[in-house]
A and B are shown apart, each in its own frame.
Chain A
């Protein structure tokens, strides 16, 4: 099982000090957090994608490539990549490039985004969110699996004889997760392709997650990718830990009370009861997290939201220490002991390459033009020798 963190990338005022980080500080902090995640033994770091204040991750692959250059082991992912408003051609190129730079240490999670104005800024309409996710993703897959694509759809300029470069590393596209809170269409999409399904899980009752995962598993089996309990499931989580649980509650409460998503609404106690948010001792986090398995079954990836609501970098790094030292080692052992052998781990680049019968270079070299049959390389060679 993979454990990791995901970030929204919000620039939020620390309610206890009134200080707000600059974009520069927040971007640099994101790098520190990702490096720390690797240092404490986590498996995954994922960043969101947003195109409006107060968020900084508008160029996720730039950030992830920078992190890849400074890490050795951690898988770099997204939470989420906006499949609705981002040109699938750009996604194909950006994430294949990241794959080459990170030596296959990346996957990605598709999401639709939920802010109305963002869609028209990119020439789209939020009311067509599902249709965009379906059409764009289908094109993205073709761009990764077919060297030359002829394509025509509803939302994008047609493509004739288009080759997305670079080709995926070792001829294997990055693994894809699909994230959704309550749209069965997206669970269906993930099941159809045999992709992973990730339930954000953190801001809503567990009953939503339970319904969606059960549906995804059933459809995964329906489409012949394996039995329902072999479907690839990821969950979000949200925790705040201190040695003594009351210290955790006292320290986290001001952040909770004014947090962008749920602030000024339910009490910390209500929200902890109604959603998977857990604030307390490492042991409480362990117990609650193990309990997720009771309603989603054996799953492959657990990501936590750590750096949000204005929590200072220092606190986030302390939280990662606790997570890495006291929580994840126990969870890793406990979950592994519970998981039956026929339930797979989350696919990685290495496992996908192995499943494909080994890696192969799929570089598409420029072909000769239609008139002369000559290639640009031959022309160049002639010029050089002339």
Chain B
């Protein structure tokens, strides 16, 4: 059985958070779907709250402290990402954005990503389409068509999660799993590696 690595980034602030709840549901959906394709998923979950100070420090100093660097290394080397943010003031949270701001600009190029968000009301749902999707498009990540949004009321329903939300979770998870399974396991770009010869550099090529 082949293996793929999935990194989950959750920007929820409260403990427990509905953002993490959604992140876990999505991770499980990806894992289940990959399993049906004969692929075993190794899933790591990163709570940005634990790295909030380090993320700010990285913005101020230009380098990530050891703990944050381990998260960054895991995220940029994963075969697929699940990213979940609470919607604050009509967009992703500042913490969520700041984490992606401290990545190298090409670090997520070509990376399959499933985007998701939580909020108190469904009126925020399009933030996924007008904020997260363009942000990941800018990073040249490959965002799956389904973006999963969960408002407070979505957590009602039978067994704690509404049928509609569960359907979106499964669809988004399946879309990510399909992309991840179809690709070779990815090696992250080494920012210290030279990609050209000095003769070419001298010749201005």
A and B assemble together: yes
Query: A residues bordering B, Cβ < 8 Å?
Result: 130-131, 134-135, 138, 153-154, 182, 184-185, 188-189, 192, 203-205, 208, 211-212, 215, 261-266, 270-271, 274
In the bound complex, CA of A274 to CA of B62 (Å): 12
Q: Provide 29 A-B residue pairs closer than 8 Å at the C-beta atoms, listed in order of the A residue.
A: A130-B201, A131-B201, A131-B204, A135-B202, A135-B204, A154-B204, A182-B192, A184-B192, A184-B193, A184-B194, A185-B196, A185-B201, A188-B194, A188-B201, A189-B201, A192-B198, A203-B61, A205-B66, A208-B192, A211-B192, A212-B192, A215-B192, A262-B60, A264-B60, A265-B60, A265-B61, A266-B57, A270-B57, A274-B66
In the bound complex, CA of A203 to CA of B201 (Å): 28
- In this assembly, does B88 line the interface, its C-beta being within 8 Å of a C-beta of chain A? no
Name the residue of chain A whose CB is nearest to the CB of B53: A266
Given A134-B202, A185-B201, A265-B57: A204 and B65 within 8 A (CB)?
no
Within 8 A of A (CB), among B164-202: 191-194, 196, 198, 201-202
Cβ A266 vs Cβ B202 within 8 A: no
Cβ A204 vs Cβ B204 within 8 A: no
- A208: B residues at CB distance < 8 A: 63, 192
Instruction: Give the distance to chain A from B70, nearest Cβ to Cβ, in Å.
Output: 12
Query: B residues bordering A, Cβ < 8 Å?
Result: 56-57, 60-63, 65-66, 69, 191-194, 196, 198, 201-202, 204
Cβ B198 vs Cβ A189 within 8 A: yes
Instruction: Give the distance to chain A from B73, nearest Cβ to Cβ, in Å.
Output: 11
Cβ B63 vs Cβ A205 within 8 A: yes
In this complex, the member of A154, A215, A264, A274 whose beta carbon has the largest number of chain B beta carbons within 10 angstroms is A274
- B69: A residues at CB distance < 8 A: 205
In the bound complex, CA of A153 to CA of B204 (Å): 9
- A212: B residues at CB distance < 8 A: 192
Name the residue of chain A whose CB is nearest to the CB of B200: A134
Name the residue of chain A whose CB is nearest to the CB of B64: A205
Cβ B202 vs Cβ A138 within 8 A: yes
Cβ A134 vs Cβ B57 within 8 A: no
In the bound complex, CA of A131 to CA of B204 (Å): 7
In the bound complex, CA of A184 to CA of B195 (Å): 9
List 13 additional A-B contacts (Cβ < 8 Å) besides A184-B193, A204-B62, A205-B66.
Answer: A134-B198, A134-B201, A135-B204, A182-B191, A188-B194, A188-B201, A204-B61, A205-B63, A208-B63, A262-B61, A263-B60, A266-B57, A266-B60
In the bound complex, CA of A262 to CA of B196 (Å): 33
Cβ A261 vs Cβ B61 within 8 A: yes
In the bound complex, CA of A230 to CA of B177 (Å): 50
In the bound complex, CA of A130 to CA of B201 (Å): 9
Name the residue of chain A whose CB is nearest to the CB of B58: A265
- B57: A residues at CB distance < 8 A: 265-266, 270
Q: Across chains A and B, which 4 residue pairs bring their CB atoms closest together, nearest first?
A: A265-B60, A184-B194, A266-B57, A265-B57
Cβ B60 vs Cβ A204 within 8 A: no
- A262: B residues at CB distance < 8 A: 60-61
